[in-house]
Amino acid sequence: MRSANPQNQSLLFGDYVYSRLIPKDHLLRRMIEAVDFSFIEEETCDLYSLIGRPGWSPVMLFKCCLVAFLYDISDRTLEEQINYNIVFKWFVGLDLDQKSPDHSTMTRFRDRLGAEGFARIFNRIVEMARAKKLINDRLTIIDSTHVIAKVDIARLGKFKDGDDDHTYVDRNSPDSDARFGRKSKKKGFYGYKDHMAMDADSKIITAVETTPGNVPDGEVLPKLITGKPKSVTADKAYDALPNYQCLAQHKIKSAIIPVDRSPGRPPKAEKERPKVEGKFGELKRLHGKSRCRWLGLMKTRIQALLTSSAVNLKRLTLMIAPPTVEYSA
């Protein structure tokens, strides 16, 4: 009588352990049920020739990135977390006795895809939400949030709150792409801005652009118009003729708040703007978006795309496969 294959026994044992230990309502388990990740292969196939195909599948490597941004795990601890957290190991597709891809493998994967590759993946996730009719385009909310550069600002020694000069570039800065910008008239920052468009009803981010911190918000609005929203709202920073012309060209109703808005009851669209502020809070509080992970504009853009992809997949999962009991993921 032939003996059973030890490898098959190991796989069966792993499946049994995973099925027994991972709660059915865990976010990652519901995400696997709600999302078909095979599109990652489609978006990365041109990056890998038959000769240079990596030992790890692009789907697994993207899921590793996703774990890092869903749970705000640093690059240095990601490998350890995947090795010892049974839910993470199952989610990325590893057997119980398999080790996680190492840090250098993850870095090469990100560099190989670049901002363009991660933008394609982000757009596919938005398309997925549209295909599932989660986005209705009734109203798009546009706004920006600042991201602090991975730099010791005290060492720059040039910027003071109240200083209106946003053109200064410190050539000695570790991040020469970053710029000084403002959160308010009295508070400045050194870093970047993430400009985002969000569907008001689904709270899914539909577009994201990253710029140095000194770029005015209003200049970025045309790049954030995607899909066919019926109306767009934004704050006073976007009150500029080119933006009204852009919306008119796309036959979109403008709900931009004018600088000289007369007092009285605000328009209905203006009342919905706190939704995007809540999304920014989620990005920063839960997903590490208050500070740059890496140096440079391109890598900061990758961070924005990965973070936005992570929160969109989380939101998509909640809408398609809501938990049956209250459970903290």
Supply the range of the domain harboring residue 174. Answer: 135-294
Q: Which residues contact 246 (CB under 8 A, 6 or more apart)?
A: 221, 222, 225
Within a domain: residue 46? Answer: no
pLDDT value for 108: 92
User: What phi and psi, each to the nearest 5 degrees, are found at residue 267?
Assistant: -60, 155
In angstroms, rounded to a whole number, what is the distance separating the alpha carbons of residues 49 and 302?
23
pLDDT value for 188: 86
For 88-106, how does the pLDDT look when each residue is reduced to its tens digit (9 = 90+)? 999 999 998 899 999 999 9
Within a domain: residue 103? Answer: no
User: What phi and psi, each to the nearest 5 degrees, are found at residue 277?
Assistant: -65, -35
pLDDT value for 262: 67
pLDDT value for 152: 77
Within a domain: residue 240? Answer: yes
Residue written as token pair 């403008």? 254
pLDDT value for 269: 76
Within a domain: residue 118? Answer: no
**Exposed, middle or buried, 61 (CB in 10 Å: 0-12/13-18/19+)?**
buried
Within a domain: residue 40? Answer: no
pLDDT value for 156: 55
Reduced to 3 states (helix: H, G, I; strand: E, B; else coil), residue 198 is strand
Question: What pTM was estimated for this model as a whole?
Answer: 0.88
The domain that contains 216 carries what CATH number?
3.30.420.10
Within a domain: residue 177? Answer: yes
Tokens representing residue 169 in the block: 């570039």
Within a domain: residue 206? Answer: yes
Please give the sequence-ordered ranges of beta strands (E in DSSP) within 19-112, or none if there are none: none
Q: How many domains does the chain have?
A: 1
How far apart, in Å, are the Cα atoms of 205 and each of 19, 104, 105, 126, 252?
32, 30, 29, 8, 18
* Closest C-alpha among 126, 170, 123, 175 to residue 149: 175
Within a domain: residue 68? Answer: no
Low-confidence ranges of the chain (pLDDT < 70): 1-16, 48-54, 153-172, 262-266, 325-329
